[in-house]
Amino acid sequence: MTTTVGAPERLEFKTELKQLLDLIVHSLYTKQEIFLRELISNAADAIDRVRYEALLKPDLLDGDSDWKIRLIPDEKAGTLTVSDNGIGMSRDAIVENLGTIARSGTREFLERLRKAEAKDRPEMIGQFGVGFYASYMVADRVTVLSRTAGAAKTDAVRWESDGQGEYTVEPAEREARGTDVTLHLRDDAKDFLQSWRLREIVKRYSDFIEHPVVTEVENEVEGKKTTEEQTLNSRQAIWLRPKAEIKEQEYKDFYRQVSKDFEDPQKTIHLAAEGTMEFRALLFLPARKPFDFYWREPKSGVQLYVRRVMIMPDCEELLPGYLRFVKGVVDSSDLPLNVSRELLQHNPILARIRTSLVTKVLKTLEEMKSGEPEAYLKFFHEFGTVLKEGISQDPGNRERLADLLLFETTKQEAGKPTTLAEVLGRLPAEAKEIPYLIGETRAQIEHSPVLEGYRARGEEVLLLTEPIDEFLIESLGEYKGKTLKAADRGESAGDKAAAEDAKKKAESEGYKGLLEHLASKLPDVKEVRLSARLKESAACLVADEGSMGAYMERLMRRMGRSGDAPPAKRTLELNPEHAAVQGLKRMFETNREDPRIETVAGLLHDQAVIAEGSKLKDPAP
Ligand code: ADP
Ligand code: MG
């Protein structure tokens, strides 16, 4: 795109942004003040970014590292400006950042925002990371003047919009690196020009921000009017203060700042390690997962500080991926300030901090599980899926993690999951297996014919319904010496003797010919045999031990990966006690060419396909 100097370029907001702005304008009435928190947070991010980039390219700073976020109310013009000396934005960056929402999950987000009550919307906007637009709760026009680090004075850019669907960008000048966001306040939002009001909001929402948030106040000294710069935030690093001095509310406020969550945390963990390793950590377990938890890239929720200076907003090295729901800060005094991302990767100090954080988080979860089972259940409901990743990610804590998992089983009411330890407690001492069945929903697998044998023997079966469960079972393999055994694969220990009997029965009672005949008529099955596991149903499908189960097969297909592993044919098992199967045998004995045999067999097969939760290949029209 070419720009004629001086002529503002008119551009349209992307559709989703238009819809968002429309919603924001209709959420005007409550919590308007959070716009300031969002703008201050953007300014602080911009400062952190230029400071970080300058580690490698010190020239970017141009001699200015007096980090500051200025609030400039202008009574006459009716504007409030938030100004920073952060990284700034180029023309393209400004179009990209303020003209589009280039994020997955946006459509879902808008859907939820629309359904949410107006009073919850402002916070949701901040949480989703579109905080800049909160400006339109108080302003009918917003002007952004920005000069990116390393650009010339005349290479700045001015962006402006009334939030009605279009914005303009044009070349501009700015004395130094940084960004000014100027809000043209609506008439009903003029109180945001008052310095007491600004101080109150900063105290409430941005007190812990590391960089000074300043404003000019007028003073009268001996009849002479002077202005003085005042810092509005205390910049106190709450994590460095002794626990006993910190009020519950302070923790909560801080949590909201680091997490962007608008609920209180479920658990607060404040750690001070001294001696050979010195660090402080203030971590939180959220009460609920952020609504975009599964859409956005998995990111660590822990910020790394070195002696009060933020080094990295999402430090992967501090906690393993399966604990990415944990939010908070870690401050180390043993790391150098100019540590780069590369240096952090195999850093022994971080590795030790990580070990102790993981231990502490797992311990907190263990205490919650035994001391507050209700709260733990709630936690697991929100984050259990992620925790399960730990079984393969963190072999060193495998046992502890296995004990933290909760499972639905055939002996538990739905919604009241149990632990493996409890299942083990109910297992007869001589049992060698813990059976499980995987499928899409509990309702579907609970009625699977493959469970009939287990039910008849009173054996408990784990009912697994999450995509990750296949992988979980694969990496877990066993629990305290008991093998985790797929109920729809191979033979269960309890069925072994019965399976032998079934084989003999097939031989002696003349089923053999029928079974072979059916196998030849049903090209989708590997084998047809008499079942030892069926008690009520006529037929079921089972996979071979070690081959892919029906659920995994469907999962792969959904992921478009069925080409990687062509589906293995399954075995069709028939229940010799069932009238339909007995009828089939009689037909076969009377006239093996009877065309009804194929029809009935086909029906039994289709029934079994549906029972395992799969779709019929070629459903009758
Ligand atoms: P988020 O901060 O969660 O990314 P925002 O809507 O608040 O979402 O901001 C969008 C983007 O605009 C930011 O990610 C950043 O790239 C850019 N931005 C906003 N304010 C500034 C600023 N003061 N300085 C530099 N970049 C900014
Ligand atoms: Mg933001």
pLDDT of residue 6: 60
Q: Where are the alpha helices (DSSP H) in 116-178?
A: 121-128
Q: Which of 21, 35, 36, 45 has most ligand 1 atoms within 8 Å of its beta carbon, as the pocket-test mutant?
A: 45
C-alpha distances out from residue 85 to 13, 15, 38, 179, 212, Å = 27, 32, 16, 7, 12
Q: What is the CB neighbour count within 10 angstroms for residue 132? A: 19
Backbone dihedral angles phi then psi of residue 81, each to the nearest 5 degrees: -115, 135
At 3, the pLDDT band (50, 70, 90 cuts) reads very low
∠ CA 15-164-47 to the nearest 5 degrees? 80
Position 114 pLDDT exceeds 60: yes
Token pair of 59 as six digits: 């020239």
- Taking the centre of ligand 2 as the mean of its atom positions, its distance from the CA of residue 42, in whole angstroms, is 5
Does pLDDT of 502 surpass 70?
Answer: yes
Query: pLDDT tens-digit profile of 531-561?
Result: 888 888 999 998 887 777 778 778 777 777 7
CA 98 to ligand 1: nearest atom: 12
Domain count, the chain: 4
Rg (CA), the chain: 32
Instruction: Report d(CA 378, CA 74) in Å as an integer.
Output: 48
CATH of the domain at 110: 3.30.565.10
Check residue 338 and give its pLDDT: 67
445 with 516, same domain? no
Same domain, 455 and 349: no
Q: Is the CB of 122 under 6 A from ligand 1?
A: no
**Predicted confidence (pLDDT) at residue 58 exceeds the cutoff of 60:** yes
Measured distance CA(139)–CA(155) in Å, rounded: 27
The arithmetic mean of pLDDT across residues 512-516, rounded, is: 90
CATH number of the domain encompassing residue 323: 3.30.230.80
Ligand 1 contacts CB of residue 87 (under 6 A): yes
Which of these, 269, 277, 247, lies nearest to 348 by C-alpha position?
A: 277
pLDDT at res. 565: 63
Same domain, yes or no: 434 and 353 = no
> pLDDT tens-digit profile of 212-231?
999 998 888 888 888 899 99
Q: Indicate if ligand 1 lies below 6 Å from the C-beta of 179.
A: yes
Looking at 294-298, 369-373, 416-420, which range is the least confident one? Answer: 294-298
pLDDT band at residue 236 under the 50/70/90 scheme: confident
Q: Is the shortest distance between the CB of 465 and ligand 1 below 6 Å?
A: no
Give 124's pLDDT tier (boundaries 50, 70, 90): confident
Assess whether 210 and 151 both reside in one domain. Answer: yes
- Domain range for 546: 496-611
Are 246 and 201 members of one domain? no
Q: What angle in degrees, to the nearest 10, is found between the helix axes of 248-259 and 195-206?
A: 90
Listed residues 437, 452, 486: the one ending a domain: 486
**179 vs 56, more confident:** 179
Q: What is the pLDDT averaged over residues 373-398?
A: 96
CB-based neighbours (< 5 A) of ligand 2, an ion: 42, 131
- With a 6 Å cutoff on the Cβ, whether 99 touches ligand 1 is no
Q: Which amino acid is at 298?
A: P
pLDDT of residue 618: 63
Instruction: Provide the pLDDT for residue 126.
Output: 73
**How many angstroms separate the alpha carbon of residue 22 from the centre of ligand 2?**
19
Last-in-domain residue among 346, 364, 380: 380
End-to-end CA distance of the chain: 54
Query: Strands, DSSP E only, in 162-264?
Result: 166-172, 178-185, 213-221, 224-231
* Residue-level pLDDT at 620: 54
Does ligand 1 come within 6 angstroms of the Cβ of 42?
yes
pTM of the complete model: 0.76
* Distance from the alpha carbon of residue 140 to the mean position of ligand 1, in angstroms: 19
Q: Give the model's confidence band at 311: pLDDT under 50 very low, under 70 low, under 90 confident, else very high.
A: confident
What secondary structure letter does DSSP report for 357? Answer: H
User: Among 92, 132, 144, which is best to mutate for testing ligand 1, by the most ligand atoms less than 8 A from CB?
Assistant: 132
Q: What is the CATH number of the domain that holds 430?
A: 3.40.50.11260
pLDDT band at 611 (very low <50, low <70, confident <90, very high): confident
Q: Which residue has the higher pLDDT, 103 or 71?
A: 71
Mean pLDDT along residues 324-352: 85
Ligand 2 centroid to Cα of residue 126, in Å, is 7
CA of 615 to the centre of ligand 2 (A): 45
Mean pLDDT lowest among 463-477, 564-578, 588-602: 564-578
Residue 621 confidence (pLDDT): 46
Q: Which residue among 183, 206, 231 closes a domain? A: 231
